[in-house]
């Protein structure tokens, strides 16, 4: 079963690498949103420094949201998902494997792009480490919560919009604690550790519980 | 004798699984429930306007509490009803659970919206601002979005039973928000008032204000169930009309062959 899990993750990563379009779209969208905000808000570097953690996190969420649709979509479209569902791996682990592959293929690159984009927003230099740490621990939650939405809206015609409406309320805790952890390092009397610990707790909980919900939704949509 | 005990053993919820029996029960209850809601509402409003004293600081604006707090409690209860119905739908495949969850969503959304609006109208004179992004207000706003998501989910999928199961999964995933709303004022430093009624050590409100509040809460609960039962009856009738239409189309196409 471990071998089957690894094979599925490796397959998804290979496909993501060969196709390449989704990750470049997500990175491009991330860059564009982070660039457009200062153009709208004005070039005041102090203002940008204050809002930088929030902007970077929100833009990351939106970029990830655009890409979670494809977690199950391609495999469902050509029938591969049904074959995989009939295989040796329980559907919960299938969902977990695909969400994990999504995180490695898209969540990690977005996280690595964040410090580069933080330069555009004049993020204080002592916050770069906290930014990377919170994002690398928060993006798995984003991928796994996204997999629930992707499984629920599988096969729907205008599923993308509905997916955003369903998933964004679930993303709010990740966003709130991620930004508060980074802000704690920049401004604060409030310490970094509590916010970051809660963020890690949320991620760990989603790693376990999200595959259950996603598998239930997949079972519903595959019959 | 054996059938009588088998019927008794069938249990309350099992017997309700038959839509016709449910309709009968709803028809029997509704007039009484409507009357009770009207009476309690009349008593509660009288007590709120005439018996309850004005606050020493806020004056009479404190009386918005008598509709704001029941709206908020009912908003949370509505989502709890949806969660329980969703579990009934997924685990036991109870036929009426789908109907209960589907019809409770718009009603709960309205109650949440009214809780937010009355809260905003109360916040302006009391706090000086219509809105603040503290934990309680944010989590209730998230609850509103969850209701909207559920309604959108029901709209998006055409097949009723598949829509029901998908919405059930979504409702259960979102139910993690309910304890967050309840304890948000304890876990965070919020502008919203901390727990004053449902807390360890009993209510912290004087009975002259607590009693009208509880009467209004009971009135609103009856109102919710009146609206909910009526909506469930309507939904059952809608599905019957749909089935009849299908049979008519089927018969017509069969006859023309």
Which pLDDT band holds residue B8 (cuts at 50, 70, 90)?
A: low
Q: What percent of chain A has pLDDT over 90?
A: 69
Higher pLDDT pick, B48 / A204: A204
pLDDT digits (tens, 9 = 90+) for B151-181: 999 988 888 889 999 999 999 999 999 998 9
Pick the range with the lowest mean pLDDT from A190-194, B162-166, B225-229: A190-194
Residue A197 neighbours by CB under 8 Å, 6+ apart = none
Burial of A33 (0-12, 13-18, 19+ CB in 10 A): middle
- Average pLDDT of the segment spanning A182-186: 91
Task: State the CB neighbour count (10 A cutoff) for residue A31.
Answer: 16
Burial of A173 (0-12, 13-18, 19+ CB in 10 A): buried
- Average pLDDT of the segment spanning A26-43: 91
Q: Tell me, what's the pLDDT at B28?
A: 94
Contact B173 A165 (CB under 8 A): no
Contact B153 A168 (CB under 8 A): no
Pick the range with the lowest mean pLDDT from B19-28, B55-64, B88-97, B112-121: B55-64
- Find tokens 């005041």 and name the residue: A44
Report the chain A residue with the minimal C-alpha distance to residue B164: A220
Report the chain A residue with the minimal C-alpha distance to residue B175: A170
Pick the range with the lowest mean pLDDT from A211-220, B5-14, B236-245: B5-14
Residue B190 contacts A where some CB pair is shorter than 8 Å = no
Query: At residue B149, does pLDDT exceed 80?
Result: yes
Q: Could you tell me which residues are beta bridge partners of residue B99?
A: none
Higher pLDDT pick, B10 / A31: A31
Domain coordinates in residue numbering, chain A: 2-222
Q: Tell me, what's the pLDDT at A190?
A: 75
CA distance B240 to B194: 47
Contact A220 B166 (CB under 8 A): yes
Report the chain B residue with the minimal C-alpha distance to residue A164: B149
Q: Which of B149, B165, B169 sits opposite A169 (nearest CB)?
A: B149
Domain coordinates in residue numbering, chain B: 31-191+204-237
Contact B173 A148 (CB under 8 A): yes
Burial of A55 (0-12, 13-18, 19+ CB in 10 A): buried
- CA dihedral over B225, B227, B228, B233, signed as positive or negative: positive
Alpha helices in chain B (DSSP H): 2-9, 12-16, 19-46, 65-91, 95-127, 135-156, 160-174, 177-187, 207-255
Residue B210 neighbours by CB under 8 Å, 6+ apart = B197, B203
Task: State the CB neighbour count (10 A cutoff) for residue B37.
Answer: 20
Residue B91 contacts A where some CB pair is shorter than 8 Å = no
ipTM, 2 dp: 0.87
Query: At residue A71, does pLDDT exceed 60?
Result: yes
pLDDT digits (tens, 9 = 90+) for B170-209: 999 999 999 989 888 888 877 787 777 777 777 878 888 8
Cα dihedral A65, A66, A71, A72 in deg (nearest 10): 110
Report the chain B residue with the minimal C-alpha distance to residue A172: B142
pTM, two decimals, is: 0.89
Q: Which of B142, B152, B172 sits opposite A165 (nearest CB)?
A: B152
**Mean pLDDT value across chain B:** 88
């Amino acid at each position: 079963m471990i071998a089957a899990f690894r094979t599925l993750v490796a397959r998804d990563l290979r496909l993501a690498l060969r196709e390449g379009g989704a990750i470049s779209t997500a990175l491009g969208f991330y860059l564009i949103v982070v660039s457009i905000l200062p153009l709208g808000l004005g070039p005041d570097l102090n203002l940008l420094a204050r809002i930088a953690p929030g902007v970077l996190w929100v833009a990351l969420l939106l970029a990830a949201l655009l890409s979670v649709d494809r977690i199950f979509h391609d495999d469902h479209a050509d029938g591969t998902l049904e074959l995989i569902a009939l295989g040796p791996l329980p559907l919960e682990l299938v969902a977990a494997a695909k969400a994990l592959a999504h995180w490695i293929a898209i969540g990690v690159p977005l996280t690595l792009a964040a410090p580069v984009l933080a330069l555009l927003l004049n993020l204080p230099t002592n916050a770069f480490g906290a930014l990377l740490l919170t994002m690398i621990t928060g993006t798995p939650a984003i991928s796994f919560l996204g997999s629930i939405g992707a499984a629920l809206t599988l096969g729907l015609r205008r599923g993308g919009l509905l997916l955003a409406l369903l998933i964004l309320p679930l993303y709010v805790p990740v966003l709130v604690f991620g930004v508060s952890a980074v802000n704690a390092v920049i401004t604060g009397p409030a310490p970094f550790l509590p916010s970051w610990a809660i963020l890690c707790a949320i991620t760990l909980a989603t790693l376990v519980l999200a595959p259950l919900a996603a598998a239930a939704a997949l079972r519903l949509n595959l019959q | 004798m054996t059938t009588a005990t088998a019927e008794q053993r069938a249990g309350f919820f099992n017997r309700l699984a038959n839509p016709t029996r449910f309709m009968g029960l709803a028809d029997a209850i509704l007039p009484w429930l409507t009357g009770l809601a009207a009476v309690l509402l009349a008593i509660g409003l009288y007590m709120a306007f005439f018996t309850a004293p004005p606050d020493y600081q806020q004056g009479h604006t404190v009386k918005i509490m008598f509709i704001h707090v029941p709206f908020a409690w009912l908003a949370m209860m509505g989502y709890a009803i949806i969660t329980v119905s969703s579990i009934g739908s997924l685990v036991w495949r109870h036929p009426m659970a789908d109907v209960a969850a589907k019809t409770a969503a718009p009603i709960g959304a309205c109650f949440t919206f009214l809780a937010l609006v009355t809260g905003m109208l109360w916040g302006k004179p009391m706090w000086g601002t219509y809105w603040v992004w503290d934990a309680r207000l944010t989590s209730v706003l998230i609850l509103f979005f969850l209701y909207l998501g559920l309604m959108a989910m029901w709209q998006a999928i055409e097949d009723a039973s598949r829509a029901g199961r998908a919405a059930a999964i979504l409702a259960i995933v979102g139910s993690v928000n309910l304890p967050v709303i309840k304890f948000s004022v304890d876990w965070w430093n919020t502008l919203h008032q901390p727990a004053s009624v449902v807390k360890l050590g009993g209510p912290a409100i004087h009975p002259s204000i607590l009693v009208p509040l509880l009467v209004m809460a009971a009135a609103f609960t009856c109102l919710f169930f009146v609206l909910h039962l009526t909506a469930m009856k309507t939904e059952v009738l809608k599905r019957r009309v749909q089935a009849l239409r299908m049979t008519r189309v089927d018969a017509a196409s069969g006859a023309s062959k």
